[in-house]
Chain A
Amino acid sequence: MPEIWIIAANTFREILRRKVIYVLVFLGVLMMSIWLGQMTFMNMAADAGEPELILQMKTSQTRAFFGMWGACTAFLGLFLGAVALATEIRNQTIVPVLVRPIPRWAYLVGKWLGTQLFVCLLLGLGIALGLAIMRVFELETRPLLWFGMLEMFAHATLFTGVSLGLSVVLNPVLAGGVTLLLASIPNVFETLLRHPHWALKGLASAVYYLSPAQMPTDLLADSFERELLQPDYSLYARVLVENFLYSMTVLLAGCILFSRREIKLK
């Protein structure tokens, strides 16, 4: 389907021209500056001759960098996914595209691919920077860290795919909000899973299985721990695959609905 790639490439170019992206980049640079400011404490520890403390600080700085970059990218993916369709309908740029003989689902998949490509490139840039920092800090990389990076990609994919899929039937604010809610809901309902009352337990189970899978541990944080208690790689891989399939399912449902829905232009 060449049209998917044509739309994806166009979406990518469109994102690069969004002013809001540059505001976010500016905020990112600002946060990085604050992060770099923390380096002065490291210099103070070096002056005091505290190698253990320096290692601890290096580890936490790197962990914070990965965490911050991952979260920023995931939220950017959530935002871009939620507004992708609504912006095109509001600006009516969708009209000359959808009068062409392309299936509606191909259009939506193209939009997702373009957004995903942008988010992944940004994430790749962050990971490259993180690895460079680790090299400068002489920190060792562990297999779990690679899983942590994969989790960052899976998270970004989940946020982009689900918010775009939901934006077919919800306005962008609601689509973004519901995506966030879906991602955080399992934590809220986890305690209810063991509730003695059958109704609450049933409700919690339903919500639990309808929401994305939760990683049982913070892979990035754990990858910087000195002692690791038998990491369950197959479980982590299953969660990642499950979440990827979850976002694809929501996107597929979005494609089906988008193929049937009316496009009301003002």
Chain B
Amino acid sequence: MNESVIEIQGVSKTFRSGLRRVPVRALRNVDVTVSRGTVTAFVGPNGAGKTTTINTVLGFLRPDQGSISVFGLKAGSRDARRRIGFQSEIFHPYPFHTAKAAMEFYGRLSGQPRADLADAVECQLERLGLGDSMDRKVGTFSKGMTQRLGLAQALLHRPELLLLDEPTTGLDPQGRKLVADIIQEEQMNGTTVFLSSHILSDIERTCDRLIMIRNGEVVLEQEIGSRFHQDGWEIEVLGWGAEADADLARAGYRPARVDGTVACFECSSADKSDLLRRVLDLSLDVGVIRRPALSLEEIYMDHVKGRRGA
């Protein structure tokens, strides 16, 4: 279960733009490991380096430093690509193909035998809700339909690794739910999913792990449980009064909020025991001790604004 599917080690990438070849550091010493069978979310603001990372995994770009392997193979190698399904942020098919012809074209390029291809094409198009549009020209598709076709072609050859770059761009809520359901189905089939997205609610629903990138650096790598815990404690004290307020103030503890006889303290892990001892010495009751949890959105905003991590 812990076998790495994607292993990015110390990858840096700098682009040079304009006549003066001004360097723009897109990735700085990025380390990412994606384990088999997981759904990993790759989040970060625009220009953080998400697409650059995905493009280096696909072999479109070469890192200036560091190494990338996919299934233990060199990133971009034919054998690695054989096992990858990729959907770009905006899928760009040939507009003159019908949906069916486009799928057959990509399927044949993936080396799928013609005999199996017709069934696989029909199955994936039906799965993505494009069954009725099989014979329609892709050029006449709406943005949402094109995106669904993009996901269908990524799934066509039953890849072991799905790389999805903003797969829900341009999709309505129904389409987004469909994508989330498909990701979960694929995970149940053992597919590893690496998902770049901005839609945090979708990530909370579908992903096991979160990797956050900012200014080309990984700033957070964490399992997605039900909550994201902060590094600190909240202690609720019952029977609060002026005497207790004065005693604890002398020791340097002031409540964050007071609501009648209930005071709420916020303290670090180091101060927790001392504060509790003093509270109990004053014969006060402790109502609740908890680690305050943040939503994924709060975590994201904190990291994006640089209040946390690197």
Report A's interface with B, CB cutoff 8 A.
2-3, 6-7, 10, 13-14, 17, 91-93, 95-103, 262-265
Question: Is A101 a contact of B105 with CB atoms below 8 Å?
Answer: no
Q: Does B130 count as interface, using CB distance less than 8 angstroms?
A: no
Instruction: Give A262 to B110 CA distance when docked, in angstroms.
Output: 21
In the complex, what residues of A have CB within 8 A of residue B61's CB?
Answer: 262-264
User: Shortest Cβ distance from A140 into chain B, in angstroms?
Assistant: 45
A99 to B55, CA, bound (A): 10
Indicate if the CB atoms of B92 and A91 lie closer than 8 Å.
Answer: yes
29 contacts between A and B (CB under 8 A): A2-B108, A3-B108, A6-B109, A13-B94, A93-B92, A95-B86, A96-B88, A96-B93, A96-B106, A96-B150, A97-B109, A98-B60, A99-B58, A99-B81, A99-B86, A100-B81, A100-B106, A100-B109, A101-B110, A101-B111, A102-B78, A102-B109, A103-B78, A262-B60, A262-B62, A263-B61, A264-B15, A264-B60, A265-B55
Give B83's nearest chain A residue, CB to CB: A101
Q: How far is the CB of B89 from chain A (nearest CB, A)?
A: 10
- The answer to whether B60 touches A96, judged by C-beta atoms less than 8 angstroms apart, is no
**What is the CA–CA distance of A33 and B283 in the complex, to the nearest angstrom?**
108
Question: Counting CB contacts under 8 A, is B247 at the interface?
Answer: no
B185 interface residue (CB < 8 Å to A): no
B84 CB within 8 Å of chain A: yes
Contact A14/B91 with A3-B109, A6-B109, A265-B60 known, Cβ cut-off 8 Å: no
Judging by beta carbons under 8 Å apart, are A17 and B86 in contact?
A: no
| Cα A240 to Cα B111 with chains together (Å) | 37
**Interface residue total, chain B, C-beta cutoff 8 A:** 27
Chain B residues within 8 Å of A264, by CB: 15, 60-61
A14 near B96: Cβ-Cβ < 8 Å: yes
Distance of A9 Cα from B79 Cα, bound (Å): 25
Question: Nearest 10 CB-CB pairs, A to B?
Answer: A101-B82, A100-B109, A92-B92, A263-B60, A99-B86, A101-B78, A101-B81, A17-B96, A93-B92, A262-B61
- Chain B residues whose C-beta falls within 8 Å of the C-beta of A3 in the assembled complex: 108-109
Q: Are B105 and A6 in contact (CB under 8 A)?
A: yes
Please classify the interface of chain B as helix (H, G, I), strand (E, B), loop, or mixed, using the class held by over half of its residues: mixed
Closest partner residue, chain B, to A102 (CB atom): B109
Does B38 touch A at the CB level, under 8 Å? no
Give the chain A neighbours of B150 by CB distance below 8 A.
96
The interface residues of chain B lying within 8 Å CB-to-CB of A91 are 92
A14 touches B110 (CB 8 A): no
Q: Does B153 contact A (CB under 8 A)?
A: yes
* Docked CA distance A95–B84 (Å): 13
- The answer to whether B153 touches A96 (Cβ under 8 A) is yes
Of chain A, the residue at the smallest CB distance from B60 is A263
- Smallest distance from the beta carbon of A98 to chain B beta carbons, Å? 7
Q: In the assembled complex, which residues on chain A have CB atoms less than 8 Å from the CB atom of B91?
A: 96
Residue of A10, A13, A93, A100 near B110 (CB, 8 A) is A100
Kindly list chain A residues whose C-beta atoms are within 8 Å of the C-beta of B81.
Answer: 99-101
Q: Are A10 and B105 in contact (CB under 8 A)?
A: yes
**Closest residue of chain A to B86, judged by CB?**
A99
Q: Which single residue of chain B is at the shortest CB-CB distance from A262?
A: B61
Docked complex Cα distance between A192 and B83 (Å): 57
**Residues in A whose Cβ lies below 8 Å from that of B110:** 100-101
Q: Contact check, B79 vs A101: say whether CB atoms are below 8 A apart.
A: yes
CA distance A102 to B108 in the complex (A): 11
Write out, one digit per residue, whether chain B residues 54-70 have a CB within 8 A of any chain A CB (1) or not (0).
01001011100000000
Sample of 11 further A-B pairs with CB below 8 A, known A96-B86, A264-B60: A92-B88, A96-B93, A96-B106, A100-B81, A100-B106, A101-B82, A101-B111, A102-B78, A263-B55, A264-B61, A265-B60
Q: In the bound complex, what is the Cα–Cα distance between A223 and B169 (angstroms)?
A: 62
